[in-house]
A and B are shown apart, each in its own frame.
Chain A
Amino acid sequence: MSAIVEARASIPRENARGLEADARRERISMFSLCTPSLLVVALIVFLPVGWLFWLSFFDPAGQPTLENYARMFDSRAYIKTFTMTFKVSFMVTGVCVLIGYPLAYLISQLPARAAGVCMVFVILPFWTSLLVRTYAWLVLLQRKGIINGWLIDLGIIDEPLRLVHNFTGTVIGMIHILLPFLVLPLYAAMKSIDRDYLKAASNLGASPVRAFWQIFFPLSLPGLFAGVVLVFVLCLGFYVTPALLGGGKVHMWAMRIESSVNLYANWGAASALGVVLLVVTLVLLWGLNRLFGLDRVYSGR
């Protein structure tokens, strides 16, 4: 034993330099493997966003201006669009939670086979075109549509309800399209809750109702937040459904961007709207992160 110790001491820091250089070479070569993906990210994310940002400071004549931003605070139409976007987003997110939470809970408690079948029905709409689904709602909800027809035939109402070409129709259509985005992360979070937690709660004296609210619900919150963030952020930039089901009465942010480009050919104004939407979304995510810790949300803990 002592002979080994002596032998080691006789050669001071053998190969130390060579090993250090080797480690440096490895770091550099490993990092260089990332360059293709970094280039792609730069090309399809930072370049267009930067271009957008740049454009937003020019008027249609190509002169530098801040008017595109100033307009958002002055023009009533812009402010109305802004509030409408948030109204729709909150409404859709809220109803999605009310429908989605019990749905995800139900599926998470079903035996594996039944849960699989139910999940197919949740995911099925994903495989159908957004446009087709939105037009289908038009057929269902219109004045002489199926729903009004049934309600009148059953004698529940005399006059057809105004279900579409307004706020209601927009919200119904968007809920249908966005619900899976809430249910999927929520279901995954619920599935990962160990049933032993509920057993333990019950063993310690918690009635099923208390065990749900004190143990299951708090543990499902990260999944719920993930779903809420997804749905809300998607709502903010939604275009097709409000354009078709809103009947021109529901002006969303994305529609304002579209009209700036197509109607007024004002790229500067459209860019400024895009930048503001991006900033609002980022601020929202930052705020949620501060409040609930989104890193925990995405790691599913």
Chain B
Amino acid sequence: MAAGSQSLPITISGVTKAYGALKALDDVSIDVASREFITLLGPSGSGKTTLLMVLAGFVRPDYGSVKFGDEEVITKPPHRRDVGMVFQNYALFPHMNVFGNIAYPLKLRNVPRPDVEQRVERALDLVQLGGLGDRGVDQLSGGQRQRVALARAIVFEPRILLMDEPLSALDKKLREQMQIEIKHLHEKLDMTIVYVTHDQREALTMSDRVAVINHGRFMQIDEPKRLYGRPLNRFVADFIGESSFLPVSVQDGVARLDGTELKLDGRPASDSERQLLVVRPEKLEVLENGQGGDLNCLTGTVSDLIFQGESFLFYVKIADGTVIAVRSPSRRESIAAVPGVGEPIRLGLHPEDTIVVPENP
């Protein structure tokens, strides 16, 4: 699709926006590479949508800088920014049909009529809606509207594409299908994509990098694997994936849980004395007696056992009374190892999966 246009890097530095006493964005800085797919992930009210609106030009920050390529755009009005955007509720114009909606940005750019038809048709094919141009917007299903909104946002070949929770209105199956489609689309198109979502799985599925945001600040910006495997603080560990937390004390780079030294892959990321061990349910192994000499071991009793189809979820009460969740796939060999409720259990955690994070900064 990319003919003359070329995707642009985005440089955001020091952007701050306060609504009264509440800082929606607090000195936010990030560099997004050209062609990168970056996701802003955070709970509602974290500032992720505000940041997207700053990029689109709908929210005027108090100060800071936003550059598309080398060009400062912070005072540029939205209609001159030339970025595509997919709105959460799609915002398809109800008085135009599918063709009219997708052709609208081209007409604004005075593209000649035959070209308009050709490019709309191509955009429709790209989102797998070929031939639906003369449908009315209200005749479309939710998934089709989503695709039309996407086609409208990319038909004028913007160098940057913004997406504001575009899949949140779709049901789970369709959502997962669209995630893959958007990912493939990104590979085909020469566009830098900034994607906003509160769904951590969606963020991990689609993104080159994920920026976790809370209270208007970035908590961590990293590739999905590192974000999941090496969270930098309690917020990220808690928000991404399921986790239980156990208090550990750290001295001279050595972390101790209940006095026992934890085997770590490297040193703890922070030097603060009171930290937390992050325990992911699926990282724990159920150990037979005498097994697991090179693992970090936890002992306790099973307090609850839940069959969830593809896996067992059981809760283990460990020595200090904390209950941690353990997930075990329902495969032949692991079913045999699952103990009954009330029985003692030993769990092993590999040093590479042993994550120690500070309390929230």
Contacts and interface: CB of A to CB of B under 8 A. Distances in A.
A197 B56 CA distance: 14
A206 B91 contact: no
Contacts of B89: 194, 196
B93 interface: yes
B94 A301 contact: yes
Nearest to A207: B79
B105 A204 contact: yes
Contact of B93 (A197, A202, A203): A197
Given A199-B58, A199-B78, A205 B91 contact: no
A218 interface: yes
Nearest to B107: A214
Contacts of A204: 79, 104-105, 108, 152, 156
Given A205-B82, A205-B108, A207-B79, A200 B94 contact: no
Nearest to B149: A200
B332 interface: no
B87 A210 contact: no
Contacts of A211: 79
A219 B94 contact: yes
A261 interface: no
Contacts of B94: 219, 301
A203 B56 contact: yes
Nearest to A222: B95
B interface SS class: loop
A196 B78 contact: no
Interface residues of B, number: 25
Nearest to A219: B95
B95 A202 contact: no
B58 A206 contact: no
B345 interface: no
A208 B152 CA distance: 19
A119 interface: no
B40 interface: no
B91 A199 contact: yes
B87 A200 contact: yes
Nearest to B88: A196
Contacts of A205: 79-80, 82, 105, 108-109, 156
A203 B95 contact: no
A296 to B, nearest CB: 11
A203 B108 contact: no
Contacts of B56: 199, 203
B83 interface: yes
Given A199-B58, A205-B82, A218 B95 contact: yes
Nearest to B53: A199
A202 B82 CA distance: 10
A210 B78 contact: no
A208 to B, nearest CB: 8
A202 B57 CA distance: 10
A76 B78 CA distance: 61
B150 interface: no
A258 B80 CA distance: 62
Given A205-B108, A205-B109, A210-B108, A197 B79 contact: no
Nearest to A221: B95
A279 B54 CA distance: 57
A219 B94 CA distance: 8
B6 to A, nearest CB: 18
Contacts of A196: 87, 89, 91
**Closest A-B pairs by Cβ, 3 of them:** A200-B91, A204-B105, A196-B91
Interface of A: 194, 196-197, 199-208, 210-211, 214-215, 218-219, 301
Given A196-B87, A203-B84, A208-B79, 4 more contacts: A200-B85, A203-B78, A205-B156, A219-B93
20 contacts: A196-B89, A197-B93, A199-B56, A199-B91, A200-B87, A201-B79, A202-B77, A203-B56, A203-B78, A203-B81, A203-B83, A203-B85, A204-B152, A204-B156, A205-B80, A206-B108, A208-B79, A214-B104, A219-B93, A301-B94
